[in-house]
Amino acid sequence: MKKWQAVFSDVDGTLFNDAHEMTDNTLKALRKIIADGLLFVIASGRAPYGITWIADKYGLDACFLSFGGALLLDERREVIFEQGLSKTEALEIAQFAKEQNFAIGYGVFNRDYWICSDKNNPGVIAEEKLIHCPSRAEPITSLKDDVIVDKVLCMCSPGEIMTIRDRMRERFPSLSITTSSSTLLEINKGGINKAEALKKLCQIKGIDVENTIAFGDNYNDEPMLKAAGRGVLMSNAPDGLKAKFTYLTADNNHDGIALELARLGLL
């Protein structure tokens, strides 16, 4: 029987239910494994300021895998790894979107704050509410030349996101471009994903990757789930993902994480 050492969990659609809250059973389960000495990692495309309030609200001692893997923070919330885009790359992405007449809003994130294309864009408004952090309506040119852009987030319409994703991938083949929901397109430095971040954090913490459990619900979680010792997909995941995974659990509204941890004898 494996000696599990760490649990990685995505947030939206996984750790959180559809009301953007953690269920009581999930919270009890996580507090139990943390008390038993397992490392808990909140693994999200969110900025660290979009994760901090979660750990604080629910009283969870956790590491942060932020920006889809571009930034890692330890339990003391100190940066232990960061690799992002340059200001020039962020400008090129925004210029391409403008040239192609993509109907999107965008956010440009670093570890301290984020700027947006339009404060009135519905996608920007929704993102501000989701991560509990207001944006700044500033041009990308306002950023310092040496800034690390951890992520560019494109807010798209559901009917256009896959076309925009494919066009972005064609134009920027060296970057990591994936969807995290039916409307959000995440753009990171090439080679950045949750899987590589999981491996990096395990290396830093002296944890065997085979002794990790990972939970997720969308395509940006797929590499992490495949890299972990046990990758568990939530049943609210897209049908296209379900055929790729052996381990499925209940959906995010019905204690999927807690049920799987109990199944593994951790509760």
Residue 104 pLDDT exceeds 90: no
Residue 195 pLDDT exceeds 70: yes
Strands 151-155 and 184-188 come out as antiparallel
Summarize pLDDT for 134-181 with one digit per residue, the tens: 999 999 999 999 999 999 999 998 999 999 999 999 999 999 999 888
Residue 34 pLDDT exceeds 70: yes
What percent of the chain is modeled with pLDDT above 90?
91
- Torsion sign over Cα 85, 91, 94, 97: negative
User: By CB neighbour count within 10 A (0-12 exposed, 13-18 middle, 19+ buried), where does 110 fall?
Assistant: buried
Q: Which of 193, 115, 183 is nearest to 155 (CA)?
A: 183
Confidence of residue 129 (pLDDT cuts 50, 70, 90): very high
- pLDDT reported for residue 211: 97
Residue 2 pLDDT exceeds 80: no
State in Å, rounded, how far the first CA of the chain is from the last one.
15
**Mean pLDDT computed over every residue of the chain:** 95
CA 13 – CA 85 distance, rounded (Å): 27
The CA-atom distances, in angstroms, between 41 and each of 65, 197, 242 are 7, 11, 23
Query: Dihedrals φ, ψ of 80, to 5°?
Result: -120, -10
**What fold, for 87-188?**
3.30.1240
- Residue spans of the domains in the chain: they are 6-82+192-263, 87-188
- Residue 229: count of CB within 10 angstroms of its CB: 17
Q: Which residues contact 217 (CB under 8 A, 6 or more apart)?
A: 10, 12, 13, 14, 233, 234, 236, 237, 252
CA 123 – CA 128 distance, rounded (Å): 9
Summarize pLDDT for 53-79 with one digit per residue, the tens: 999 999 999 999 999 999 999 999 999
- pLDDT reported for residue 188: 97
Average pLDDT over residues 250-263: 98
Confidence of residue 1 (pLDDT cuts 50, 70, 90): low
Structure tokens at 231: 């990758």
- pLDDT reported for residue 181: 86
The CATH number of 6-82+192-263 is 3.40.50.1000
